[in-house]
Structure 1
Amino acid sequence: MSPTNSEIAALDGEGRIPAYVARPDADTTRAIIVIPEIFGVNEGIRKKADDWAALGYLAIAPDIFWRFAPGVELSPDVESEFQEALGYFGQYDADLGVKDIEAAIRWLRSQGATKVGCVGFCLGGRLAYMAATRTDIDASVGYYGVMIDTMLNEAHAIAKPLMLHIPTEDHFVDHAAQAKIHEALDPNPKVTLHDYPGLDHGFAATMGNRRNDDGAQLADSRTRDFFAEALA
């Protein structure tokens, strides 16, 4: 497995998106986009990309804040950095963000990938849902995606498999929002929802105070099995 810092072309000639790329030891036609939380492409996100490469996928983690805070790396366990990240979240345009996911899909296909999936966390989980509704990605997974309940009018466009991991005590996604997500998506045969009773936002973080090891291992095993089938 060989990790590198790289750049990919944004859509519409907007510029170049910094990205962390982890290549597997052998050539592959399967790829994963790791979409960061609001904390940037930090150590935890890079480790997730490395883990996918170790499983034989070409993995890329694009810098979703590249337009206004390129290269930022923050820790959710440091209060000042957490507040800084919330500020970036407030600036972020998710409509532009999903275009950046589309750019990553195109780049991965230019690298020989015939099957492309994405897995996102927090804001990245929202983008994973948007990728499922707005792009031709082959499979998407969202962990504790925020604001999905406000975008359920797009659910009819889901054409490829989507999995969402929902901690029931997510303090950013309340019970009412979770109920709306279930009501809208449970009937869709393309969508799989997993609830994690008692767990909070960030439970599957690679490291740090938010991680719940049992919950993270369960969710990650489900994600690995999901991609193994959907990207076969």
Structure 2
Amino acid sequence: MSSTISLTAADGHEFSAWQAGAPDAPHALVVVQEIFGVNHNIRTVANEFASAGFAVLAPAVFDRAKRNVELGYSPEDVKEGLALRAEIPLESTLADLQACAAHFRKQAPHRKVGIIGFCWGGALAWDAATLTHDFSSAVSWYGGGIAAHKDATTHCPVQLHFGGQDSSIPHQDVNTIRAAHPEIEIYVYDDAGHGFGNRDRSSFNADANHLAWKRSVTFLEAGLRTTGI
């Protein structure tokens, strides 16, 4: 049910993606990595969504800079991940995400496609929801930098999750997003820090992860439901 496949973006770039779930699952979902690549955690998340009834693709968006990246969480890994991220223009990464959506549409033209991302991927999920029209639902977990783009127009329903103890995303940023987008579902988990949904990180918070997961699945299922076909 899970394997690595190759996809091609509109600009001709070939990249790998972790594929999980039945191709004809009722919902399609793109899972976007942190700055650590499509590593054990991201593959686990993809497989869990597959078990929940989603067809999933987790694109290796680092392939544009370096292939087969699977980092850990040491300071050195963080430094490498940030450096790789800096090498890739946003429009190139969005092209990879759009290629995933196009792949799903080829499999089932009427099926809606959602996107969920974590950390850097959380910011990319916001960018996908505001800079493209390829997704019908978007969820971001502890995506940094969203407040700086608060004036962007969302093209699909969006749900955001933040840790109340996340030192990298100030409370004021969350308040700024709330004020700019009162229509968006925003949840803050008081005792959770950055990366609270990653079981492989020391910041993992089981309670916050469980609640955010339930909320995300419910939100995505509702946003991707296809009627009248």
| TM-score, with structure 1 as normaliser | 0.91
Going from structure 1 to structure 2, the CA distance change for 1:171 and 1:94 (only over 3 Å counts) comes to farther
Local SS of the residue matching 1:159: coil
What's the CA shift for 1:27?
2.6
Can you list the C-alpha shifts for 1:24-67, whole angstroms capped at 9, x where unaligned? Answer: 2x732421100000000000000111111112211000011111
Local SS of the residue matching 1:153: coil
What's the CA shift for 1:153?
2.3
What's 1:64 paired with?
61
Q: Distance in 1 between matches of 2:94 and 2:68?
A: 19
1:148 correspondence with 2:146: yes
Please give the residue correspondences for 1:41-56 in structure 2 after superposition, counting only pairs within 5 Å.
41-56=38-53
Q: Distance in 2 between matches of 1:97 and 1:153?
A: 21
What's the CA shift for 1:94?
2.2
Q: Distance in 2 between matches of 1:231 and 1:102?
A: 17
Please give the residue correspondences for 1:1-232 in structure 2 after superposition, counting only pairs within 5 Å.
2-13=1-12, 15-24=13-22, 27-76=24-73, 78-112=74-108, 114-136=111-133, 137-154=135-152, 156=153, 158-186=154-182, 188=183, 191-232=184-225
Which amino acid is 2:142 matched to?
Y
Local SS of the residue matching 1:109: helix
What's the CA shift for 1:206?
3.4
What's the CA shift for 1:179?
2.1
Question: Any stretches of 5+ residues in structure 2 without a counterpart?
Answer: none
Q: Distance in 1 between matches of 2:213 and 2:220?
A: 11
Could you list the structure 1 runs, at least 4 aligned residues long, displaced by more than 3 angstroms after superposition. none
Q: Distance in 2 between matches of 1:95 and 1:175?
A: 28
Local SS of the residue matching 1:106: helix
Q: Distance in 2 between matches of 1:124 and 1:175?
A: 20
| TM-score, with structure 2 as normaliser | 0.92
What's the CA shift for 1:225?
0.8
Q: Distance in 2 between matches of 1:92 and 1:143?
A: 21
Local SS of the residue matching 2:61: coil
Local SS of the residue matching 2:80: helix
Local SS of the residue matching 1:101: helix
Q: Distance in 2 between matches of 1:112 and 1:29?
A: 9
What's the CA shift for 1:128?
0.6
Asked whether the equivalents of residues 122 and 142 of structure 2 are also in contact (C-alpha less than 8 Å), the reply is yes
Local SS of the residue matching 1:17: strand
Asked whether the equivalents of residues 28 and 112 of structure 1 are also in contact (C-alpha less than 8 Å), the reply is no
Question: Any stretches of 5+ residues in structure 1 without a counterpart?
Answer: none
Q: Structure 1 vs Structure 2: percent identity of aligned residues?
A: 30
Deviates more, 1:175-184 or 1:103-112: 175-184
Aligned length: 223
Asked whether the equivalents of residues 47 and 206 of structure 1 are also in contact (C-alpha less than 8 Å), the reply is no
Q: What's the RMSD between the two structures over aligned residues?
A: 1.5
